[in-house]
Amino acid sequence: MDLRSLPGTSTRILAAVATMAAFGCGSEGANGPSDSIDVLTPGVAAGWFGGTTAAYEIGVTASHTHGGQKAAYIKALGQSTSAGVMSQFLNATSYRGKRLRLSAWVRHTNLTGSSVGLWMRVDGPGLATAFDNMDQRPLSGSSDWHLVSVVLDVTPNAQGIALGALMTGAGTLVFDDMKLEVVGADVPSTNILTAPLASGDSATNASTYGRSSATPVNPDFEGVPAITTQSSDWLRQFSAALTTTDPQAPLADLAPLKQMIGPATLVGLGEGTHGTSDFFKMKHRVLEMLVTQMGFTVFAIEATTPESDDLNRYVLSGVGDPKVLLSRLYFWTWNTQEVLDMVTWMRQWNASASPAQQVQFRGFDMQNPGASMDSVLAFVTRVDAGNGPFVQQRLACIAPYRNRGQTLGASTTAYAALPFTDRTACANALGDVYALMNGHAAEYQAASSGTEYQLRLHDARLIQQFEAMASVSSNATAGSRARDKAMAENIVWLRTVSAPQAKIALWAHNGHINRVDGLMGGYLGSMYGADYVNLGFVFGHGSFNAVGGGTGTLGPQQANLVVDHSIEQAFVGTGQPRLLFDTRTLVVGGAAADVLRGPIGMRSIGAVFSPNSEALYTAPSFFPNDFDLLIYLESTSASKLLPFVYQ
């Protein structure tokens, strides 16, 4: 793994798939240190964030330490060309114009990789100005404790400093007592860059590093302070108790939420996992309150737009089978009894509500462009037959990568691997289709209707968005960011074109609705300010559905680990089963509340989960910056998956 290409926000994408296992305690052997590690805590140390593959294990050990009671380690589970990485990201403001040395004591056994040791990178606006990952002097073989370091100059315009430890290949690397310090010009730089390299989006880097600490957290791996009883007591005092997650129950306990949302007309409803029944049920309750008591008339979900429009026809008119229509959203995450129950309620509400009070079911995702491509071609062929072949020819470059219903096309990473000139030509061809439709607005609307034309024009835009995401999909962070930007754009389209002036409830993962720059909620928060309110969901322990990391099997998973210095730890300490909390009260909460403002860990699990790497599914959060509101559920159960029905 070349860490020069990792943007500063890469640790917010939590795809932890390493398999952790406890090994027996070993002793120093006559031929050098043993690689037997007594695992004290699996996963990256508190305050650190990591990315691994199934080939590596990361953890904290007490069996081999240089100082204190704990040290960190990365251990290969076999020979691999990928990397195991531990990272932190620091604000560079106080280091500008200075020379920094990152050092640590290390011991290692049977190392074989080409990049093994410490790494550090200095990021300026969109550029990495200095970098060293010791690949010109990698640690190798076996050795007892010794000191290693990397030294870099911090440019006057530096935004942040990324640092940590990594290893490739086989063996075990243990490190302890890490230190970051300013040194003089007499200490040689180890920078391996001959010229600056691209390193993420400038605005995103500025936001990420602006939120970061100026000094490393837990550099000696002894741990971070746990949340105090006083902080949990304060949290309980300033939270509202929720009675139930049952959608059939009265909504009286949600009255405080109504006050917290206030006049906002765009509300993001998150989820801490994609497969938790209790999150879905509570969001169903919240939607009912928004529709019946606050005048919300659009529900929009993290699902493909044209297929969601088919479900919209059902909730508005009863046309279609909701089980089939849910299946055609392509995601197992939404093909559940809980979502079906919510859709059924929407239809029941619309059957008796006045037209002004009816609620729509819409989508804002763009990952599966097949229906959009078919709709655009059919529409232009019908209203402007002479340009049908032109549209078909222009769409041909992306056709191999599109889905055909449930059948996926070629991998988007295969598209990303095409020459830049080919991808640019394809993007221009898709732009030609959009320009054609936009340039013939009057005649196309006259030959159809204003509503149909706007839907098909938006389909053409969805195809462009898919190409933009596919073009960078070989980089997981860049692909994810492209998708978030597109989803935000589609929500803006809903508000301004398709359903102007409507109050909209959004359903997506916590990782999309939060206000971090470069994510969907970051765009919405920047554009709409206080008119956008987001509600995150967290839980203490329980089951949820996910694809098992390493197995590829979809089914119930279990999360029980409550990470030290996490928002989950604070909520668990309240002893309450369900709480609603307005994070904006933290600003004036005093000392007991300040520790909750962040950086503080927050669990984030998507559609994939590796149960033996649970500690890795935690990311740094800041309150109220990231989330306005939180709902906490002490225990949860897995969503009820439905069979896919296509006829």
Instruction: Name the burial class of residue 418, with classes exposed (0-12), middle (13-18) and buried (19+) by CB atoms within 10 angstroms of its CB.
Output: middle
Give mean pLDDT, residues 500-510: 96
Angle between helices 420-439 and 450-471 (to 10 degrees): 170
Give mean pLDDT, residues 295-303: 97
What is the spatial distance between Cα 279 and Cα 539, in angstroms, rounded to a whole number? Answer: 9
pLDDT of amino acid 225: 77
pLDDT of amino acid 26: 27
Q: For the chain, give the mean pLDDT.
A: 90
pLDDT in tens, 250-269: 999 999 999 999 999 999 99
Beta-bridge partners for 475: none
pLDDT of amino acid 23: 21
What is the spatial distance between Cα 531 and Cα 43, in angstroms, rounded to a whole number? Answer: 38
Lowest-confidence segment of 252-256, 479-483, 530-534 by average pLDDT: 479-483
Lowest-confidence segment of 31-45, 164-178, 265-279, 551-565 by average pLDDT: 31-45
Q: Tokens 């197995």 belong to which residue? A: 551
pLDDT over 60 (residue 21): no
pLDDT of amino acid 204: 56
Lowest-confidence segment of 44-48, 416-420, 640-644 by average pLDDT: 44-48
What is the three-class DSSP state of 527?
Answer: helix
Give mean pLDDT, residues 92-119: 94
| Percent of the chain predicted with pLDDT > 70 | 91
Other CB atoms within 10 A of residue 182 CB: 12
Give mean pLDDT, residues 379-393: 98
What is the spatial distance between Cα 605 and Cα 549, in angstroms, rounded to a whole number? Answer: 12
pLDDT over 70 (residue 548): yes
pLDDT of amino acid 8: 31
At 316, is the pLDDT very low, low, confident or very high (cuts 50, 70, 90)?
very high
pLDDT over 60 (residue 2): no
At 3, is the pLDDT very low, low, confident or very high (cuts 50, 70, 90)?
very low
pLDDT of amino acid 362: 98
At 17, is the pLDDT very low, low, confident or very high (cuts 50, 70, 90)?
very low
What is the spatial distance between Cα 621 and Cα 615, in angstroms, rounded to a whole number? Answer: 15
pLDDT over 50 (residue 279): yes
pLDDT of amino acid 35: 58
Instruction: Name the burial class of residue 223, with classes exposed (0-12), middle (13-18) and buried (19+) by CB atoms within 10 angstroms of its CB.
Output: middle
Q: What is the CA radius of gyration of the chain?
A: 26
β-bridge pairing 266-269 and 504-507? parallel
Give mean pLDDT, residues 49-65: 80
pLDDT of amino acid 212: 77
pLDDT over 60 (residue 168): yes
pLDDT of amino acid 27: 27
Give mean pLDDT, residues 617-642: 94
What is the spatial distance between Cα 538 and Cα 397, in angstroms, rounded to a whole number? Answer: 42
At 51, is the pLDDT very low, low, confident or very high (cuts 50, 70, 90)?
low
